[in-house]
Structure 1
Amino acid sequence: MSPNVIEEALAVLCARYIFPEKAEAAAAAIRRREQAGEYAGLDERQLGERLTAELFEICEDTHLRVRVRGAELHAALTQDEMVAVYREQIKLANYGIARVERLDGNIGYLDLRQIPEASMGGRAIVAAMELVSHTEALIIDLRRNRGGVPNGVSLWHSYLFPDDETHLNSIYDGESGNTRQYWSQAYLPGERYLDRPVYVLISGVTFSAGEEFCYNVQALGRATLIGQTTRGGAHPTRFFPITPTLEITVPIARAVNPVTGGNWEGTGVVPDIEVPAEEALATAYRRALEHVLAGSAAAAVQEEARAALDGLAPAEPAETVAA
């Protein structure tokens, strides 16, 4: 492996990482190891894994990685080329929406695996929210959500708040020194999802923009989080190709929540109700059905909810995590 590959990765790290002092310290440590011949004979995958581990030793940043690029990216070396690949990938992934369903008892269910860029996935988000707009409660499953784009998060969230007066999140950009605020939107196609409970399912896989999704609604008291603590990556990231087959992903910004003043980096998002991730859906569904039965839903919906609740396995005691 050419030493130039390592040096190019370190140059990007030092120029773009949101924490410059950590970047310089990590680069110095890696250069010492490179001079000692510790990377000799490693192929690209081995080198990426080794550098990623060593970057984490100093920076403790789960977004900071050196890794082999997917085959579809080998010819994508400019930003425009990488955006074109992303556009095709997110379209084929149905803009991250794996499943939209009305569960018995008139409970809405969304399984979101990615958060799309709003200008690309907006129509799909609107369509999904239209399909659950008349349900009695909503379950949003982020247990397999590995991230996405902040403006997509703000579009999803806008459906959960009544107007444009909810400050959702802010992102500080290291290169420009500017902070961008993300607010709920004044106008949305279709109906907003208001005055009904929302349950968000999380796990140790939930990451990045998926974590922002749940952190924001938890901080604002708009949803109940159920499952396990998330992975803990709060730094928006860009991908920089080092060769056609190797890239470094570098956090260039950091989230600053307007309610907490902080973010979930390194700690993850802690659920309100802690249960094993595989039990989170059943736990949320039970609570949603109990909400229906305690309310004024139509008789047919109440009957359906009672039958669904009777069909669930007996509930195990759930651990409520103190705020």
Structure 2
Amino acid sequence: MAGGRFSPALLVLLYHVLFGSSSFQPALVLDMAKILLNNYCFPENLVGMQEAIQQAINSGEILKIYDRKTLASVLTVGVQGALNDPRLTVSFEPNFVPVMPPALPSLPTEQLIRLVRNSVKLEVLKNNVGYLRIDQIIGEETATKLGPLLRDNVWNKVANTSSLIFDLRYSTAGELSGVPFIISYFSDPEPLIHIDTVFDRPSNTTKELWTMSSIMGERYGKQKDLIVLTSKRTMGAAEAVAYTLKHLKRANIVGERSAGGSVKVEKIRIGDSGFYITIPVARSVNPITGQSWEVSGVSPSVNINAKEAVANAQNLLAVRSAIPRAIQSVSDIIRQYYSFTDRVPAFLQHLESTDFFSVISEEDLANKLNNELQSVSEDPRLMIKLTQDHPSLHDMPKIPTAQEVGYIIDTLFKIEVMPGNVGYLRFDMMADIEVMRAIGPQLIKLVWSKLVNTDTMIIDMRYNTGGYSTAIPLLCTYFFDAEPLRHLYTVFDRSTTTMTEVMTLPQIQGQRYGSTKDIYILTSQMTGSAAEVFTRAMKDLNRAKVIGEPTIGGSLSSGTYQIGNSILYASIPNQVVLSAVTGKVWSVSGVEPHVAAQANDALSVAQRIIASRLLKQDKGK
């Protein structure tokens, strides 16, 4: 909790208030300060208090407040503001009679049993989900006294459920000494866990709370899913339970932020007056966070109206129960289809060791799996997608009609013959081979015939994000001679475990550009997939100079596989490309250009290079 030094200005005000009225004794402010010094659970925030009081006494200013309740309100605002603690209140209650409820352990056993039965509700919901509602956390002595009852009627019945909803929405009272009992049921016997440290100011003692190695009843353990429900009414020991289970990563919290109570608050009379100060006399410090649930409350993992918490918790448990199956399914898909087989063991080991505690929705699971897989692989092509619509697992290309051909050519291709008889060809998608054959005659007539007789060709791939790889051999063939056929690259298909050598084609429609004229390929960080394979093949065989930015590092082919019966799908690169020159697998880091340039400048850089070469050729003649 934040706190500051005791404000001298405040004490000046307090002294003026008290000394300014003959109805109040000057000793009141001194008595209140003494109570704070001896009882307030943050004594370090009271440094300088005595000096401030003396400063107030020496002051001669007068402020008269005759109404005692108004004075109490003024004192409350001042003390809360000075110590930044809303639990500190001053009240005027001349007829106040403290009522001490009887300590639970001193009650007859029959009454204790009725109390426990009235404050505990247990049932088993659908899918063997346990529901346990506890409205009062009983302390150590009572828990020990009622051990057999709790064992037989609560904990041993809870232990047989597959997962548990632990309802603390109505728990507004309880004893902190009972917290270790509950936490122990949801943890293992060893090692013991330090769960809280409580400082008591009046006795100036510190007590550590730990889990217990031996308890009465069967433990629920650490493995099964646990959801804790909270509301704005959840207070005190129940908050300690929820806060501890949350930060031990043992339970997800569903509902509303809890009340933000205190370990122990006392109402102490100020001297012999009718004024009382309510003051927190003990504080909790969680050993994991170094902070506490006091004042600020326990924030839920899923923030929802408390009335809807049970239904939401059931949905959350359904999501969480599916996590092991989803992880196993992803592991199986990677093992069977991922093309870089040498990386598979590291993936599987990483998934097995990953903590999915924070996952509270299918979207969370998709994001978590994505982050974990890509952190290991550094492969952006490996993705987990969440979609309500089943994606097409076999996306078949549509053969265009005669009326659509002209539109497709106008949309996909942009051509120009630049000065110096330089051809410019831009196309923004790699079409399927069957589509290319269908539009072939019109493509030759409207596009290729206007470029084939240029002396140099600029192929602009800066806006081509990929598409089908089937037409790559056809496209490459136009830039090589008919004989001999050239080995472009080799494809390893993980799903069929086959190796396929991709060659130029012996026959094509129209005229070849040939193997001697210069080719320049422009790239950007958008250039991906099949466009990269074409670019890399042309670069690998020294048939083109690449100008621009490194390409995206996409996949030649990715398969889409459903993860179990969920709405999650894995996009897995299932093919790798091996260089025809080195025989090694092409990197997934993208194609590095021969000449690095900003994508926007790549065309002008290519034109300058071409102009410079033509100038040299002219001088050579």
How would you bin the TM-score normalised by the shorter chain?
Answer: 0.7 to 0.9
The change in CA–CA distance for 1:295 and 1:53 in structure 2 (over 3 A counts) is same
CA shift, 1:101, in A, is 2.8
Deviates most, 185-194 or 232-241? 232-241
The change in CA–CA distance for 1:29 and 1:93 in structure 2 (over 3 A counts) is farther
Is residue 170 from structure 1 mapped to residue 490 from structure 2 by the alignment?
yes
- Amino acid in structure 2 at the alignment position of 1:116: A
CA shift, 1:219, in A, is 1.5
Q: Within 2, Cα distance between the matches of 1:95 and 1:12?
A: 40
Which residue number corresponds to residue 480 of structure 2? 161
Which residue number corresponds to residue 247 of structure 1? 569
Q: Within 2, Cα distance between the matches of 1:191 and 1:268?
A: 31
Q: Within 2, Cα distance between the matches of 1:98 and 1:28?
A: 46
Which aligned pairs between 1:145-294 and structure 2 lie closer than 5 A? 145-163=464-482, 165-194=485-514, 195-233=516-554, 236-242=557-563, 246-290=568-612
CA shift, 1:124, in A, is 4.5
Deviates most, 121-130 or 51-60? 121-130
Deviations 1:66-123, CA, capped at 9 Å, x for gaps: 1245x9xx355453xx325x778x9887698342333344322222222222112344
What SS does structure 1 have at the residue aligned with 2:414?
strand
Which residue number corresponds to residue 229 of structure 2? none
- The answer to whether the Cα contact below 8 Å between 2:416 and 2:424 also exists between their aligned partners in 1 is yes
Which aligned pairs between 1:32-51 and structure 2 lie closer than 5 A? 32-33=353-354, 36-43=356-363, 46-51=364-369
- The answer to whether the Cα contact below 8 Å between 1:234 and 1:265 also exists between their aligned partners in 2 is no
- Amino acid in structure 2 at the alignment position of 1:99: K
- Amino acid in structure 1 at the alignment position of 2:593: P
- The answer to whether the Cα contact below 8 Å between 2:424 and 2:459 also exists between their aligned partners in 1 is yes
Is residue 83 from structure 1 mapped to residue 403 from structure 2 by the alignment?
no
Seq. identity, % = 23
The change in CA–CA distance for 1:149 and 1:107 in structure 2 (over 3 A counts) is same
- The answer to whether the Cα contact below 8 Å between 2:393 and 2:560 also exists between their aligned partners in 1 is no
The change in CA–CA distance for 1:270 and 1:75 in structure 2 (over 3 A counts) is closer
Deviations 1:42-75, CA, capped at 9 Å, x for gaps: 52xx543432221122223232111245x9xx35
The change in CA–CA distance for 1:20 and 1:229 in structure 2 (over 3 A counts) is closer
CA shift, 1:21, in A, is 5.5
The change in CA–CA distance for 1:160 and 1:123 in structure 2 (over 3 A counts) is farther
Which residue number corresponds to residue 57 of structure 2? none
Which residue number corresponds to residue 433 of structure 2? 118
What SS does structure 1 have at the residue aligned with 2:571?
strand
Which residue number corresponds to residue 448 of structure 2? 129
- Amino acid in structure 1 at the alignment position of 2:384: V
Q: Within 1, Cα distance between the matches of 2:594 and 2:367?
A: 34
Pairing partner for 1:58 from 376, 395, 411: 376
The change in CA–CA distance for 1:272 and 1:284 in structure 2 (over 3 A counts) is same
Gaps of 5+ in 1: 297-323
RMSD of aligned Cα (Å): 3.2
Q: TM-score, normalised by structure 2?
A: 0.41
Q: Within 2, Cα distance between the matches of 1:168 and 1:10?
A: 33
- The answer to whether the Cα contact below 8 Å between 2:576 and 2:586 also exists between their aligned partners in 1 is no
- The answer to whether the Cα contact below 8 Å between 1:219 and 1:260 also exists between their aligned partners in 2 is no
The structure with the largest alpha-carbon Rg is 2
- Amino acid in structure 2 at the alignment position of 1:110: L
The change in CA–CA distance for 1:168 and 1:95 in structure 2 (over 3 A counts) is farther
What SS does structure 2 have at the residue aligned with 1:150?
coil
Q: Within 1, Cα distance between the matches of 2:464 and 2:541?
A: 21
The change in CA–CA distance for 1:246 and 1:109 in structure 2 (over 3 A counts) is farther
Q: Within 2, Cα distance between the matches of 1:181 and 1:129?
A: 27
- The answer to whether the Cα contact below 8 Å between 1:234 and 1:263 also exists between their aligned partners in 2 is no
- Amino acid in structure 1 at the alignment position of 2:589: T
Q: Within 1, Cα distance between the matches of 2:450 and 2:567?
A: 41
- The answer to whether the Cα contact below 8 Å between 2:339 and 2:492 also exists between their aligned partners in 1 is no
Deviations 1:189-246, CA, capped at 9 Å, x for gaps: 0111123211101122222222211111112111111112222345532222447964
Aligned length: 286
Gaps of 5+ in 2: 1-318
- The answer to whether the Cα contact below 8 Å between 1:226 and 1:275 also exists between their aligned partners in 2 is yes
- The answer to whether the Cα contact below 8 Å between 2:347 and 2:373 also exists between their aligned partners in 1 is yes
Which residue number corresponds to residue 17 of structure 1? 338
What SS does structure 1 have at the residue aligned with 2:462?
coil
Which residue number corresponds to residue 299 of structure 1? none
Q: Within 1, Cα distance between the matches of 2:373 and 2:410?
A: 31
